[in-house]
Structure 1
Amino acid sequence: MKKKCWIRLCHVNQDLLDFAIEDFSISQSIYQDELSHIERWEKENRLHQLRFLRKGSLINCYLSAAATISAHEFSDARIACAKSIALVLVIDDFFDVGASKEEQENLIALVEKWDDHHKVEFYSEQVEVVFSAFYTTVNQIGEMASAIQNCDVTKHLDETWLHYMRSVATEAKWQRNQYVPTVEEYMTEPLTSYGMGPIMLTSLYFVQKNLLKHIIKDPEYSELLRLMGTCGRLLNDTQGFERESRDGKLNIISLLVLQSGGSMSIEAAQEATQESIASCRRDLLRMVVREDRVVPRPCKELFWRFCRTAHLFYCHTDGFTSPKEMLCTMNAIFTEPLKLQTTSPSFDVQSEQ
């Protein structure tokens, strides 16, 4: 005996759709307020006056933070993260194209003195603008993070930023002296100069309470940072290869070709770089899902979310250098209303007995 049974899928509960739309609208309102805060911060610190700074980068800094730390309750974390990413771009552009050797050395001397920076004279007005914005912002973030951690973490943040800045200065010195580093040398400095050290630490201080010093000093934390930073560095180099080649700058692809003595083509170097990126992602994910380790799971998951955000920005181009490429994503997240199907598709499923 055969029996036909027709099954029609139910429509999605309208209450759930209404809730999703309302929640998305609340998120957009929060994001817009936070972005306005970031824009005021940029003007108050005179960063918009820096001619060397890449244009349209501020909203990308906030987009990167919002894509990584999306929960409503982490507003302070998003803002601190966005400001940290913005400072990384300011310092990167300062050492890359915006400053003389003397200005670079002056900025590092000021950061080394920190609270005693008044003992060092500003070499130029743009050094004063960069340092003042940097000093004020890191101290403000440090004060807020210290309240969350119940201990003073500002000094540790300052040290992490100084380590990053010295690495960027080393790259600038290589460029001035036309020094060609080995691949091993290159992956040591640019891993630090990619800037994930201060960005990651700042974000974690706001997301994870009781982030004890022994956690940050543990080899597991260092390895998570290395894998995430390497992935981001290689993604950046892949998308920036043509532009940097035109500017006479080295990156991992050109170095692989040079180190091979010409036996490796540009295409082969690009393929090898993509394989390294995939390997780093796999290793990072293994560490994230691994249980019973020193670094708390929420912290490890933040490393993974930063890695995914890096892929978003470097999927087709360098999203920080070409802000128009991210325009559709920005509009979809920050301004456009949520678009949903008004009706659910129905399917007829026939079963026979």
Structure 2
Amino acid sequence: MKVVFNAIAELCAEIESLTTEGGKSSLPSKYVKQAYFKVAEAYLVEAKWCHESYIPTYDEYKTNGISAGYPLFTTAFIALGEFATKEILDWVSSYPKIIKAVSIIGRLTNDTASHKFEQQRKHVASAVECCMRQYGITQEEAYEFINNDINNCWKDINEEYLKLDYIPRPVLDCIVNLARISELLYASFEDKYTNCALLNDYIVALLLDPILI
């Protein structure tokens, strides 16, 4: 944990150095630190669930999953860009509807692709197990239920993207692209994040054999 903490501290220091060198405030690094703190809190909750062999409700699990990663990714991306203002960073930190929807998509697509492998070792129950337990349904029915949840999240994302005309489009694009990445990484019940060889063709298509425009 000391190694992890030191790496995070070095990253925050680098962000602060880059923003202040560019004549900007050191404020973004404070938001990145806060976002890391939220992730650590969420992971601690999952660790306690795992240690106590507790299976949360599906709703409980999703609520905690909102804090686990995606708001941090958004904050970190924005912190180094031209839109790293207090107003925008405050908005991201408030977990608006669009970020909640993107976070849920990331959590649910990950779980449906990786839960079978993860349950082979001591691991917190995934969204699939939580859904089966809360509603008394089969695994296949849980997949269908979760997929409907993901579709509803996309409806929220599309609606919010059109409504949030006071948020710069590059910021919204950054947020939406995280959900699109999740759909790619975990499509067809494949965990391309863990089994990165599955991304070879995509990387080749993007970097070695791009479409000429």
Q: TM-score, normalised by structure 1?
A: 0.54
Identify the residue that residue 307 of structure 1 maps to in structure 2.
Answer: 179
Q: 1:284 aligns with which of 157, 174, 183?
A: 157
Q: Could you tell me how far apart the structure 1 residues matched to 2:16 and 2:63 are?
A: 27
Aligned to 1:161: 36
Closer/same/farther in 2, CA of residues 326 and 157 from structure 1, 3 Å limit: same
Cα distance change of structure 1 residues 221 and 259 upon mapping to structure 2, 3 Å threshold: closer
What residue number does 2:65 align with?
190
Equivalence map 1:117-266=2 (5 Å): 127-147=1-21, 150-153=24-27, 154-193=29-68, 195-209=69-83, 211-218=84-91, 222-249=96-123, 250-260=125-135, 262=136, 264-266=137-139
Contact 1:237 1:253 (8 Å CA) reproduced? yes
Does the C-alpha gap of structure 1 residues 167 and 339 become closer, same or farther in structure 2, counting only changes over 3 Å?
A: closer
Contact 2:102 2:178 in 1 (8 A): yes
**How many matched pairs?**
208
Aligned residues: CA RMSD: 2.2
CA distance in 2, matches of 1:267, 1:197: 30
Q: Give the Cα–Cα distance (whole angstroms) in 1 for the partners of residues 9 and 80 of structure 2.
A: 19
What is the 5 A alignment of 1:94-133?
127-133=1-7
Q: Given residue 284 of structure 1, which amino acid in structure 2 is its aligned partner?
A: I
Give 5+ residue unaligned stretches, structure 1: 1-126, 341-353
On the 8 A contact 1:236/1:314 being kept in 2, the answer is yes
In 2, the alpha carbon distance for the partners of 1:140 and 1:213 equals 19
What is the one-letter code of the residue matched to 2:4?
Answer: V
1:257, 1:328 → 2: CA distance? 35
Counterpart-to-counterpart distance in 2, 1:243 and 1:288? 35
The 2-side partners of 1:247 and 1:231 are apart by 24
Larger radius of gyration: 1
How far apart are 1:221 and its partner, in Å? Answer: 5.5
Q: Corresponding residue for 1:331? A: 204
Structure 1 counterpart of 2:55, one-letter code: V
Q: For 1:310 and 1:163, how far apart are their aligned partners in 2?
A: 20
Shift of 1:257: 1.0
Aligned partners of 2:23, 2:192: CA distance in 1, in Å?
A: 33
Which blocks of at least 5 consecutive residues in structure 2 are unaligned? none
Work out the CA distance in 2 between the residues paired with 1:251 and 1:313: 17
Alignment check: 8 A CA contact 1:319 1:325 kept: yes
Q: Equivalents in 1 of 2:172, 2:211: separation in Å?
A: 33
Query: TM-score w.r.t. structure 2 length?
Result: 0.87
User: Relative to structure 2, which stretch is displaced further, 276-285 or 220-229?
Assistant: 220-229
Give a deviation string over 1:83-132, Cα, whole Å, max 9, x none: xxxxxxxxxxxxxxxxxxxxxxxxxxxxxxxxxxxxxxxxxxxx332222
Q: 1:247 to 1:290 in 2, by over 3 A?
A: same
Relative to structure 1, the CA distance from residue 254 to residue 241 in structure 2 (aligned partners, 3 Å threshold; closer, same or farther) is same
